[in-house]
Amino acid sequence: MCGIAGAIGAITPAAIKTVQKMSTLQAHRGPDGAGFWQSEPQSGLGSMLAHRRLAIIDLSPTANQPMLDSSTGNAIVFNGEIYNYASLRQELKNQGASFKTDSDTEVILVAYRIWGRDFVNRLRGIFALAIWDNSRNITVCARDQLGVKPLYYVQSKFTDSQHFIFASELRALLHSGFVQRKLNAKSVSSYIWNGFVTGPDTIIEGIQLLPAGCILEVDVKGEIISLEKYWTLPSCSKHSNDVEPLKTALYESAKLQQVSDVPVGVFLSGGIDSSAVANMAAITNENPIQTFNIAFDESEFDESIYAKHVATELGAIHHEIRLTENDFGSDIDNALNSLDQPTFDGINTYFVSKAVREAGITVALAGTGGDELFGGYKSFSDIPLAAAWSKRFGFLPDPVLRSAGKIATRLKYPQFGEVPPQQRWGKLGDVLRARGDFFGTYQTSYGLFTADYHGLLLASEDHNLAYGVNPLLAEEIKSSISGMSQMEAISAFELSMFLGQRLLRDTDSASMAVSLEVRVPLLDHVVVEEAFKLSPRRRFDPLGKKKLLRELATPNIDPAHFERKKSGFVIPIEIWSKSSLKSVIEETFKDQELTRSVGLNQDAILNLYHAFQAGTPGIYWSRIWAIFVLLHWCRHNKVGL
């Protein structure tokens, strides 16, 4: 796990210095080594690659990057882990290849030499990489199937020459000198809708995120030659009820993702998903696993007792780390500054990652993906119902639907003051106006604000978004669910939006801020493919229970542990926002110049904040926190419209 950076175009002292600066800015991603390489200039043009190393597989200096293929002159920088590298290595040896290291990096480099662009279809892991192809004078970039590892890029004029510049983190590009410190107004609107920015755009104008499962080629002049999808979520016309292939993939993933030359731990909340990963890890490991849980003084947020019970059953070496309000407050600046893009959710991962890293662990397994794959969220039951009702009333004009929604909200909450509820009942009119559009219903239901208040929060609103999403991304997601059942479609939405656009990006930046690699066995692309082959009934029924995952991955754990109300890992920000964090949030919201520079309406923000402090129904902490994080991020990184 590492940080990569590079520039393709004119090789000049200024460009080299800038690439090295971007690498230094990502030192937290790779404290174990740093490297730089440049190709032989072709008419002054070529590739400049830099790497920061977090050593996990083959800790020797021979595995350092950038790594060269002496037989071809190709070079690679790579961030991630290839879990099936050992079997690929043997396959390549059988075809006559030889190796100088025991690293997965060299396996990729040799695989590219022998298999060409098809190498990416053989990789089972998490990765973002760039390969300089010396014979073709091009650079090949690729990102893993689900988008666990990020790759940001920009095409920019630098010293009067065109360059293609890339890095593992947006902030490295932002501070490189290649990019203007200018917010993307469309992305600000997307953020206010979602609480995160949806790709391929980013919060910064001009910087793009390479989509998950994509391969991109850039010529020596820094021009993009091609950008293609090599992997998409599967859509099966003929389903099966045979769960054995999925079971095999799950345990294989759990075993492969424990391959490491450094200590590995498991995040354990005590819920189904993390318990499934911990159990499979314990079964496939000869030694006791180490598990980690965050505990809170606030009892309504504390699930440490459940984690402890599961760990005891597994015979794990369990670590309980208590996070107090004082601990949170003393480290909040570091947590917020770890966010590569603004997001209302990333600091959860920062605090648990920091605690695990301080315990001497370099790699941690997380239970991410279970809800999305096996129907754990309420969206699986709520969205079809909401879409059906909105389709039924779809013949009515917008003003009627809007009025009906307002009347229903007023009946539910007779006295809500200046700010109407910004949740389910408050959004009824918006949901009805989706007219049965499945993606529109999903996005409306899980947006932070009603369409009306979203408009009030923004100083100007003319950004041509489709329910808070870039129209191209919206059409791509809609196209991907063609032929899917409703349950499969919601799973695809959750994997593409909640995970792909938010949670995985948050996890990467927050965990790498403390030099911790987080692996996600349930999101192995082979596991995902096998899950989508199953009939929806076998995979999802009964909704919300994740029965199939429990059947396959936790058969030896007392089911009583899971018979409780579902709750995710949530820091008590709602409580702390009204106590220790109150002054810093108020100060930020009252900064008129800051809110103006970000393109927000300060009056709407303050009205929302006062409604939250007053306990107005339907004004959740996440709405306040999302705006605070955006403003804090923009002030810290000195950006504006």
**Measured distance CA(36)–CA(23) in Å, rounded:** 9
Structure tokens at 300: 């309504």
- With H, G, I as helix, E, B as strand and everything else as coil, classify residue 205: coil
Alpha helices in 395-516 (DSSP H): 398-412, 428-433, 438-446, 451-457, 471-480, 486-493, 504-512
How does DSSP assign 421-449, residue by residue? --STGGGHHHHHHTTT-HHHHHHHHHSSS
Backbone phi, psi, residue 463, to 5°: -120, 5
Please choose, from the candidates 88, 128, 107, 112, the residue with its C-alpha nearest in 3D space to the C-alpha of residue 213: 128
Torsion of CA 604, 610, 614, 617, to 10 degrees: 20
Q: Give me the catalytic one of 2, 141, 214, 634.
A: 2
Please choose, from the candidates 297, 494, 279, the residue with its C-alpha nearest in 3D space to the C-alpha of residue 379: 494
How does DSSP assign 552-588, residue by residue? HH-TTS-GGGG-S--------HHHHTTTTTHHHHHHH
Cα 556 → chain centroid: 31
**How would you classify the pairing of strands 74-82 and 67-69?**
antiparallel
Please choose, from the candidates 212, 71, 48, 40, the residue with its C-alpha nearest in 3D space to the C-alpha of residue 139: 48
Q: Is 2 a catalytic residue?
A: yes
Backbone phi, psi, residue 640, to 5°: -160, 180
CB atoms under 10 Å from CB of 559, counted, come to 10
- With H, G, I as helix, E, B as strand and everything else as coil, classify residue 296: coil
**Measured distance CA(337)–CA(627) in Å, rounded:** 15
Please choose, from the candidates 285, 292, 360, 295, the residue with its C-alpha nearest in 3D space to the C-alpha of residue 325: 295
- With H, G, I as helix, E, B as strand and everything else as coil, classify residue 538: helix
Contact 331, 580 (CB under 8 A): no
| Catalytic residue ranges | 2
